[in-house]
């Protein structure tokens, strides 16, 4: 072959090789593009009725509780009750001794009696002069006005003395300590001879009405919109294992605590035999349910990071993040709320490593 033929043959060979290589590369790229679309475990979103029984720790509290302090300063003269004693409303539980209060009362009482005598005298004098003034020329007009003014002044002084007397009478009554309601003495912090007054930090007595106990439960925010199946709940206490008690829903706080984001629900327990004590811890069970069906999905489908909580939805085989809020969590599933529609395809196991826009083929 001539040199010219050799050059032509080499060029033709190179062209064929280049074309073949290009076609193979295109095929490789097409194959690689096809193999990038992976399948992922998914499920179809649907609504269902939700019911769950949840246990909450609670505390039993008395229906009424009062810490009794002294209104006036004095010494304990005698004590008529002790811890564990049952008392009735208005019953005397202690008597204080304060000589200065009694002395002030006696002085004010004497001043009131003097003011009363002066008033009665000026009133009688005014009546006599007024009767005499009915005859023209008998009494000067100035004398009548003077007598009236004196009577009014003595009347005002007498009323002031009576008001002061009432104040000191009330102070003297404070020396007698009475029970504000019927209940049980649960604390006694004084003895005869103890000095008490408004500066005391500890109460003299603590009285509790335990005939009815309040069971208060902290309900998390996610459960506050759910409705319990019944207004009557069951609870147990450690002191009496195996015994189940019942309490009835009485009231809800109506606001969430800023500390732990819970709402206080209060249940009443009629403690007729006084078996349970205030201050006991209880474990209560409440069955919650929704009035309408809601979305309940596997816990693994919800992704939580430092910024948000979301699920991953497949739309046209491409991923997108949908923000959700958690609700009730029955078993290994959880109730979610968000921009979701029944029939959506969600990834069974979500992770924030799967970014929006990634293409997948759902595998059910």
**Pairwise CA distance, residues 54 & 286, whole Å:** 5
Instruction: Kindly give the pairing relationship between strand 294-298 and strand 333-338.
Output: antiparallel
Q: What 3-state DSSP class applies to 261? A: coil
What is each CA distance from 91 to 155, 211, 281, in whole angstroms? 38, 18, 31
Phi, psi (degrees; rounded to nearest 5) at 55: -100, 140
pLDDT at residue 37, rounded to an integer: 77
pLDDT at residue 13, rounded to an integer: 54
User: Apex CA 214: angle with CA 211 and CA 217, to 5°?
Assistant: 160
Q: How confident is the model at residue 284 (pLDDT cuts 50, 70, 90)?
A: very high
User: Apex CA 152: angle with CA 107 and CA 148, to 5°?
Assistant: 140
Phi, psi (degrees; rounded to nearest 5) at 290: -100, 145
**Pairwise CA distance, residues 318 & 324, whole Å:** 19
The DSSP letter of residue 279 is: T
Q: How confident is the model at residue 61 (pLDDT cuts 50, 70, 90)?
A: very high
Question: In terms of Cα–Cα distance, which of 55, 53, 54 is closest to 236?
Answer: 55
Cα dihedral 243, 244, 248, 253 sign? positive
Instruction: Kindly give the pairing relationship between strand 294-298 and strand 47-48.
Output: antiparallel
Asked if the model's pLDDT at residue 34 lies above 80, the reply is no
CA 353 to chain centre: 40
Contact yes or no for 291/229 (Cβ under 8 A): no
What is each CA distance from 248 to 182, 265, 278, in whole angstroms? 23, 11, 17
Question: What number of CA atoms fall less than 13 Å from residue 159's CA on the CB side?
Answer: 6
Asked if the model's pLDDT at residue 4 lies above 50, the reply is no
Asked if the model's pLDDT at residue 306 lies above 70, the reply is yes
pLDDT at residue 83, rounded to an integer: 94
What stretch of H or E contains 67?
strand 51-68
Burial class of 197 by CB neighbour count within 10 A (0 to 12, 13 to 18, 19+): middle
Mean pLDDT score across all residues of the chain: 84
Specify the fold of 69-178.
Methane Monooxygenase Hydroxylase; Chain G, domain 1 (1.20.58)
The number of beta carbons lying within 10 Å of the beta carbon of residue 139 is 17
**Pairwise CA distance, residues 99 & 118, whole Å:** 29
With a CB cutoff of 8 Å and minimum separation 6, the contacts of 275 are 240
Q: How confident is the model at residue 69 (pLDDT cuts 50, 70, 90)?
A: very high
What stretch of H or E contains 86?
strand 86-87
Asked if the model's pLDDT at residue 10 lies above 90, the reply is no
Cα dihedral 288, 294, 298, 300 sign? negative
- Higher per-residue pLDDT: 209 or 28: 209
Helix, strand counts (H, E) of the chain: 3, 22
**Pairwise CA distance, residues 308 & 321, whole Å:** 10
Asked if the model's pLDDT at residue 251 lies above 80, the reply is yes
Contact yes or no for 165/185 (Cβ under 8 A): no
Can you list the alpha helix ranges (DSSP code H) found in 36-140? Answer: 99-132
The DSSP letter of residue 270 is: E
- Higher per-residue pLDDT: 235 or 231: 235
With a CB cutoff of 8 Å and minimum separation 6, the contacts of 117 are none
Q: How confident is the model at residue 51 (pLDDT cuts 50, 70, 90)?
A: confident
Per-residue pLDDT reduced to its tens digit, 142-175: 777 888 888 889 889 888 988 888 888 888 888 8
Domain boundaries, the chain: 39-68+210-364, 69-178
The terminus-to-terminus CA distance of the chain in angstroms comes to: 67
238-265 average pLDDT score? 91
Cα radius of gyration rounded to whole Å, the chain: 44
In sequence order, the β-bridge partners of residue 248 are 232, 268
CATH class of the domain defined by 39-68+210-364: mainly beta
303-318 average pLDDT score? 90
pLDDT at residue 8, rounded to an integer: 47
């Amino acid at each position: 072959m001539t040199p010219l033929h050799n050059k032509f043959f080499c060029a033709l060979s190179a062209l064929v090789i280049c074309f073949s290589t290009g076609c193979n590369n295109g095929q490789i790229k097409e194959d690689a593009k096809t193999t990038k679309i992976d399948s992922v475990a998914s499920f179809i979103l649907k609504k269902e009725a939700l019911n769950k029984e949840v246990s909450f720790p609670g505390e039993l509290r008395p229906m009424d509780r009062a810490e009794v302090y002294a209104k006036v300063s004095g010494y304990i003269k005698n004590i008529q009750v002790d811890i564990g004693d049952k008392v009735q409303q208005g019953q005397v539980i202690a008597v204080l001794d304060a000589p200065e209060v009694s002395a002030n009362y006696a002085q004010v009482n004497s001043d009131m009696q003097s003011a009363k005598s002066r008033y009665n005298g000026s009133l009688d004098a005014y009546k006599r002069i007024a009767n005499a003034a009915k005859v023209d020329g008998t009494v000067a007009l100035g004398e009548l006005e003077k007598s009236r003014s004196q009577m009014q002044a003595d009347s005002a002084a007498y009323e002031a003395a009576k008001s002061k007397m009432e104040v000191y009478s009330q102070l003297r009554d404070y020396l007698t300590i009475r029970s504000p309601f019927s209940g049980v003495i649960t604390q006694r912090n004084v003895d005869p001879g103890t000095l008490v007054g408004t500066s005391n930090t500890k109460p003299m007595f603590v009285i509790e009405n335990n005939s009815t106990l309040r069971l208060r439960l902290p309900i998390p925010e996610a459960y506050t919109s759910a409705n319990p199946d019944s207004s009557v709940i069951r609870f147990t206490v450690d002191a009496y294992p195996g015994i189940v008690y019942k309490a009835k829903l009485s009231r809800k706080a109506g606001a969430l605590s800023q500390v732990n984001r819970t709402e206080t629900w209060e249940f009443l327990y009629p403690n007729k035999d006084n078996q349970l004590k205030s201050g006991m811890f209880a474990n209560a069970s409440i069955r919650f349910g929704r009035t309408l069906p809601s979305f309940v999905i596997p816990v693994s489908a919800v992704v939580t990071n430092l910024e948000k909580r979301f699920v991953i939805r497949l739309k046209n085989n491409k991923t997108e993040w949908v923000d959700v809020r958690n609700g009730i969590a029955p078993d290994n599933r959880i109730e979610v709320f968000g921009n979701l529609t029944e029939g959506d395809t969600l990834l069974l196991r979500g992770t924030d490593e799967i970014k929006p826009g990634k293409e997948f083929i759902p595998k059910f």
